[in-house]
Every structure is written in structure tokens, then in C-alpha cells.
Amino acid sequence: EVQLLESGGGLVQPGGSLRLSCAGSGFTFSSYAMNWVRQAPGKGLEWVSAISGSGDNTYYADSVKGRFSISRDNSKNTLYLQMNSLRAEDTALYYCARDPSHTVLFWFDTWGQGTQVTVSS
């Protein structure tokens, strides 16, 4: 069974940093591009970032560009999101989502259950 399990969320002060992880299982992790998508409380879905299967290509939403960094370790079947200079508006449930291809197609055939990030003093 294909599974994605996020971790690393929590409460952080404005300006702080956090690193999210997403462990993939049940599929050949390196063969798929991966994404982060978030959902602020009471709001809709917002795409955050994507990375190709090899890790060579990365993409970011304008709202996080320069503050967030996506990476992956295919030897550990794990996706990461390093979040720096966090703001209150980054408060959201962060989902890890699999792209259906090695290259980034910007759609998501499998999602994790999410990890909560709260930015507050």
C-alpha cells in the first residue's frame, strides 16, 4: 500500500524555523516527484513546493520563495521542507503529496494525512 507519513510540525514563534519530513512507503520513492500542499485553518488548499524524482528540479509558490527549501533523500525514502523566517500566515496543516510522474506535473495522486504547523508568539 502506498503511504506517506508527515512529521515535524509544531508550535514555533514568528521568525523561527521548522523542518518537516515525509516518509514514503509502498512505492519506489525515487521514481516520483513530490510536493508540499498546505491548508490554513478554515481555508482551501494551497500548493507550496515541488521537487522532481531525482531532486534536480525544484519549484516554489511566490508566498514561500526565499524562505522555504524543499529537498529529498531517496536513500531514506524521505521528503523534507525546511521552513525559515516563519510568519503567522504560514500557520496551516501541511500535506505531503505524490506527483504521478518522475517529472513534476503539479497534480497529486496520493496524499499524507498532514502535519500541523502553528506560528504564534
Partner 1 sequence: DIQMTQSPSALSASVGDRVTITCRASQSINTYLLWYQEKPGKAPKLLIYAASSLQSGVPSRFSGSGSGTDFTLTISSLQPEDFATYYCQQSYNTPPTFGQGTKVEIK
Binding region for partner 1 (CB under 8 A): 4, 44-47, 59, 61-62, 95, 97, 100, 105-114
Residues 6+ apart with CB under 8 A from 102: 31, 32, 33, 52, 53, 54
Nearest-angstrom CA–CA distance, 99 and 73 = 16
Q: Which is nearer to partner 1, 8 or 16 (CB)?
A: 8
Q: Which is nearer to partner 1, 35 or 78 (CB)?
A: 35
Min dist. Cβ of residue 106 to partner 1 (A): 4
Min dist. Cβ of residue 47 to partner 1 (A): 5
Which among 90, 56, 86, 85 has a CA at the least distance from the CA of 71?
56
Q: Which is nearer to partner 1, 1 or 121 (CB)?
A: 1
CA 65 to chain centre: 13
